[in-house]
Structure 1
Amino acid sequence: MMDKVIVSDVVSLYDECKGNAIAIYGAKTVAQRACLYLENKGLEVDLFLVSKKYDNPEILMNKSVEKIEDNKNKAWDCVVLAVSSKYVLDAGKELEKYNIKKLVIISPLMDDDFPFNSCGGNIEISANSFLSLKTQIFADETSKIIIDDGVVIKDNVRITSTNNSIIHICKSAYIGNETVIGADENSKIEVKENVDIGKQSEINAVSNSKIACGDENIIGHNSIMFARESDISIGLHTTVGPYLYITCHKTKIEIGVDNMFSTNVRLCSGNHRVIDKKSGKDITNREKIRTGNHVWIGAGATLLAGSDIMENSIVGAAAVVTKRMEPFSACAGNPAKVIKRDIDWKR
């Protein structure tokens, strides 16, 4: 007689599995996360079990994947049923006909603890990444999420890709607690290698937009990036203090290589519409914002549509920039003006 146990937290999962030879039924994302958790706690997972009715790999996380129907006479000490909640009842009944001493079922309450693809979208998560047990990942059937080797994603992060969109988090990136990353309507977000995104940040691209964080960027906590029908790009080795705010509508924002932004920097281009009262025409300034390479932006500075900060320049604290600033210069004030020329700066 099979001993069936339902658990609702990962501590109970560990307690029920320890001391047993463990197999995991389900070769999708939930099963991989369950395997990683148990192995990180020092338990050994022998293999993955799957059903013939699913298209599954032969090897998963360097472990063999066996069709359960091919092992009708084999006995298992402990099988962990790790599938998304809508399949739990059907899969549980299916496993009753096999020789399993203990079946540990992750109840629907565990959906928040293990990321899973609930609508058949394409989610690729490297086995060499680390995702907190509170990570939530969702892609619809038209979209894709890729998480590469060495990525660390902390607690309560939510990543969503919908309506022909792609999110790619590249090798060794770090995503802080409670960060939200979302792409919708033919949009793409790329977090490149060794990027560090601070806690409680939001990155959203909608309506044919692209957001790219360059290699080795550091984005401070509580930062916001929002693109609608726009492109936002940040060059490599750029560091940004907390409370960055970037909003971009029907235009581009380009941040160069080796920039340094202090806290509370704002870049706003093409936000709400401005209408000429007499003609009724939309006269919103949607010029792009650009910073060249090796630019230093002081605390509380604002760059509005049309700002073009040339290379090796400094923007003073609380400055409001609306136009092109010379290379190797420092500007300050509202509106910002060049106050010093023929200068450079170092970190």
Structure 2
Amino acid sequence: MDEEVCRIIKSNGKGRIITSGNVIIDVHPTAEIELNANLSLGHNIRKGSNAETYLKMHANSGLTINGYFRAFYNTSIEIFSGGVLTLSNAYVNSDCVIACTKHVSIGNGTAIARGVYIYDSDHHKLIGKSGEQTNLSAPVIIGNHVWVGVGAIILKGVTIEDGAVIAAGAVVTHDIPAGCVAAGNPAKIIKEKVDWR
């Protein structure tokens, strides 16, 4: 691992970054990584694969690992200037994207399937008639034991409460209560009081 990256990691012996396959780590010198548990990048890569797993942290960004988090191969995690990403004992499967400009949090026991996109910003400004930005960034909070299906998109300002299930291909633009299944574009509640295993 790059010497500069090693200097910004705070682990107190509690965690380390484990890399498998072709992992690219690009961390600004003012970024901070707090490892309270292990972070696995390129997890479960197939033998002979050239898939890249990517972690980029911009100036003054933060990454906190509070439980063993696995980012499968070909996943991209980018934390923009001033953004804070908090990860717990959970995983994102291959081909996922996490783009954090403000705050993204993923709770314990959460399972995120392939090809899921999580964005807390539109990454471009929409300007209103009086010159103000109308599409501000807003945190994405994914609770404990949440299941996010393949190809789902989770957008800014969303809280997904504990035990919720997001169906494959859903586009989540509003909060999802605990123990509910949400599906569609935009995602709507289709079942309540579910328990998934």
Instruction: With the length of structure 1 as denominator, give the TM-score of the two structures.
Output: 0.50
| 1:313 and 2:155 correspond | no
Structure-to-structure mapping, 1:198-347, within 5 angstroms:
198=42, 200-228=52-80, 229-236=82-89, 238-249=90-101, 251-346=102-197
Question: Which sections of structure 2, spanning at least 5 residues, go unmatched?
Answer: 46-51
Query: SS where residue 145 of structure 1 aligns?
Result: helix
Separation (CA, whole Å) in 2 of partners of 1:184 and 1:172:
18
Question: Which sections of structure 1, spanning at least 5 residues, go unmatched?
Answer: 1-135, 147-165
Higher helix share: 1
1:277 offset after TM fit, Å?
Answer: 4.6
Separation (CA, whole Å) in 1 of partners of 2:29 and 2:75:
23
Give 1 or 2 for the bigger CA radius of gyration: 1
Q: List, as ranges, runs of 4+ consecutive aligned residues in structure 1 with deviation greater than 4 Å.
A: 168-173
Contact kept? 2:84, 2:104, Cα under 8 Å = yes
- Once the two structures are superposed, residues 258-280 of structure 1 have per-residue CA deviations (whole angstroms, 9 ceiling, x without a partner) of 10000011101124232325222
1:39 corresponds to which residue? none
Contact kept? 2:179, 2:193, Cα under 8 Å = yes
Q: What is the aligned length?
A: 186
Cα RMSD (Å):
2.0
Instruction: With the length of structure 2 as denominator, give the TM-score of the two structures.
Output: 0.86
Indicate the structure whose relative CO is greater, using CA pairs within 8 Å and at least 6 residues apart: 2
1:185 offset after TM fit, Å?
Answer: 4.8
Separation (CA, whole Å) in 2 of partners of 1:177 and 1:271:
31
Contact kept? 2:64, 2:87, Cα under 8 Å = yes
1:145 corresponds to which residue? 6
CA distance 1:205–1:172, change in 2 (3 Å): closer
Structure-to-structure mapping, 1:14-163, within 5 angstroms:
137-139=2-4, 145=6
- Once the two structures are superposed, residues 209-246 of structure 1 have per-residue CA deviations (whole angstroms, 9 ceiling, x without a partner) of 1112333222110111111111011112x022101101
Contact kept? 1:312, 1:344, Cα under 8 Å = yes
Separation (CA, whole Å) in 1 of partners of 2:62 and 2:16:
21
Contact kept? 1:273, 1:283, Cα under 8 Å = no
2:22 corresponds to which residue? 178
Separation (CA, whole Å) in 2 of partners of 1:212 and 1:275:
31
